[in-house]
Amino acid sequence: MLDTALATAIMKSVDAGFDAQVAMTAELVKFPSVRGAEHTAQDFMAAAMRERGLAVDRWRIDIDDIRHLPGFSPVHVSYDNAFNVVGTHRAGNAKGRSLILNGHIDVVPVGPLDMWTTPPFEPLVEGGWLYGRGGGDMKAGVIACLAALDALKRAGYRPAADLHVQSVVEEECTGNGALACLQRGYRAEAVLIPEPLWNRLIRAQVGVLWFQVHVRGIPVHVRETSAGANAIEASYGIMQALHGLEERWNARRKDYPPFDTVEHPINLNVGRIAGGDWPSSVPAWCTFDVRVAIYPGQDIAEAKREIEAVIRDAASRNRFLANHPPDIVYHGFEAEGYVLKDAEAQVETLERAHRTAFGTDLKEVATTATTDARFFGLYAATPALVYGPNADSIHGFDERVELDSVRRCTQAMALFIAEWCGLERV
């Protein structure tokens, strides 16, 4: 337990630095760090860590280093610009408990620009919110890691334990960035990931699978459409069958607490489609991308077999596809679900920090999304707390993060560091 005077000093120090923190968050939002283009934002992070006296480790992810590890997800894009950055504070006399602060630098695509009120990579502060792609998910959190350390320093302290700030890529598609940090040897006694969690703590998260369905058709001139098999329209039958699987999996939720209390834990999304080449040719191909959740403990290999059986069955009911079954390509997330456990000390510390910063009890949530927490929890026996600010429209248009929530979460993070790692005078 921190004493009240110290806690107050730390919180005030966060407030004192908050304008600079917001400015730095906005600066980071300007980097269009969509997949394949994270490197310049990572250069910015490396420089920011170096300025703060952290020892910087920046490396390109090598798939050969990680492909054999549990939690690896298949990847079909280049990692030429996929750099992780870790900044480490090494305590001279480590009295406290070590900590990893982890955040992801990658953001999802912006979609049609005309659906944004203001340009996605031109951050705008208005009405107490910061707007921009990635502001919520999760550049506010990434900067909050550094701002919490800045606040401690401003108050005259530094952590009395080793602490790693990790800025990773690939969270939105594979998690291979966080996995590469594990492979490189980073370990600690707790992990905190400030994802936009509406000031709550994740108690459980689903797993996620990505797959692509490649449907073929018989191409003919449109004057004889009945002789062809329209790959675009045939795809719809497969989507419907997959939604049937989604409902069957949702019906199993009683077997997977805490998701038994979540109304619709398993969401299946057809997120991308492309097919055909010419309006007057019956389309001979259609490819669509699917994201589907799985429960913690649900076996990935078995889930894939169920998916494949559903697609095969739907295809068998289509005259053409019966003899030309679709190809299924796994091209991203093969993420297990994760339930936070054996984490009493970590959670209690966060509960105290949250209560001090917000004046309310910390709420927990079982989220229907995944986070990088699973790597630490499942493959390194380290409880990972996912806790962060209030955001709107992540993955949507006019994404925004609430600044007062960022401020209080940063206070809570600083208090958490102070109690978990202990402090020593600068």
Nearest to 137 by CA among 176, 107, 100, 174: 107
395 near its own copies, judged by CB under 8 A: yes
CB of 177 to its own copies, least distance (A): 16
| Residues whose CB is less than 8 angstroms from the CB of residue 310 and which lie 6 or more positions away in sequence, other chains included | 241, 242, 244, 245
Min dist CB 173 to its own copies, Å, is 8
With CB under 8 A as the contact rule, which of the stretches 213-221, 303-311, 340-348, 350-358 interacts with its own copies?
213-221
Measured from the CB atom, the residue of 215 and 315 that comes closer to its own copies is 215
In whole angstroms, what is the distance from residue 147 CA to residue 141 CA?
Answer: 10
CB 321 within 8 A of CB 311: no
Q: Residues 191, 286, 340, 343: which binds its own copies (CB under 8 A)? A: 286
Query: Does residue 74 sit in helix, strand or coil?
Result: coil
Would you say 37 or 91 has its CB closer to its own copies?
A: 37
Stretch that binds its own copies, among 95-103, 159-167, 178-186, 221-229 (CB under 8 A): 221-229
Q: Which helix (H) or strand (E) holds 379?
A: helix 373-379
* Of positions 37, 397, 422, 424, contacts its own copies by CB under 8 A: 397
Of 92, 112, 127, 185, which lies in the binding site for its own copies, with binding defined by CB under 8 A? 112
- Torsion of Cα atoms, 78 then 38 then 376 then 416, to 10°: 180
Using CB under 8 A as the binding rule, whether residue 403 contacts its own copies is answered as no
- Burial state string for 232-270 with b = 16 or more CB within 10 A and e = fewer than 16: bebbeebbebbeebbeebbeebeebeebeebeebbebeb
Q: Counting contacts by CB under 8 A, is residue 426 touching its own copies?
A: no
Report DSSP state, residue 137: I
Residue at 24: amino acid letter: M
Minimum distance, C-beta of residue 133 to its own copies, in the bound complex (Å):
11
Q: How far apart are CA 103 and CA 267, in angstroms?
A: 24
Evaluated on CA atoms 321, 327, 333, 337, the torsion sign reads positive
- Helix/strand/coil for 1: coil
Site for its own copies in 82-101 (CB under 8 A): none
For its own copies, the closer of residues 87 and 296 by Cβ is 296
Nearer to its own copies, 91 or 222 (CB): 222
DSSP state at residue 382: -
Question: What letter represents residue 82's amino acid?
Answer: A
Minimum CB separation of residue 151 from its own copies in Å reads 30
Interatomic CA distance for residues 165 and 158, integer angstroms:
14
Comparing CB distances to its own copies, the nearer of 358 and 397 is: 397
User: Among 27, 65, 289, 308, which residue sits at the site for its own copies (rule: CB under 8 A)?
Assistant: 289
Nearer to its own copies, 78 or 226 (CB): 226
* DSSP-derived pairing of the beta strands 363-367 and 285-294: unpaired
| 302 C-beta neighbours (distance < 10 Å), count | 10
Which CA distances in Å does 380 have to 70, 71, 99, 377?
11, 11, 13, 6
Residue 165 CA to residue 367 CA, distance in Å, equals: 24
Decide if residue 238 touches its own copies (CB under 8 A): no
Q: Does 382 bind its own copies (CB under 8 A)?
A: no
Q: What is the DSSP string of 7-39?
A: HHHHHHHHHHTHHHHHHHHHHHHTS--BTT--H
233 lies in the site for its own copies, by CB under 8 A: yes
Assess 220 for contact with its own copies (CB under 8 A).
Answer: yes
Provide, rounded to whole angstroms, the least separation between the CB of residue 71 and its own copies.
17
Among 74, 257, 276, 422, binds its own copies (CB under 8 A): 276
**Is 50 or 214 the residue whose CB approaches its own copies more closely?**
214
Residue from the set 59, 285, 330, 358 that interacts with its own copies by CB under 8 A = 285
CB of 290 to its own copies, least distance (A): 6
Spell out, one character per residue from 320 to 359, where the chain touches its own copies: x when CB under 8 A holds, - when not: ------------xx--------------------------
- What is the rounded distance in angstroms from the CA atom of residue 168 to the CA atom of residue 165? 10
Single residue of 23, 63, 115, 345 touching its own copies by CB under 8 A: 115
CB 107, min distance to its own copies, A:
10
Binding site for its own copies (CB under 8 A): 108-112, 115, 137, 172-173, 208, 210, 216, 218-226, 228, 230, 232-233, 236, 239, 264, 267-286, 288-291, 293, 332-333, 367-369, 393-397
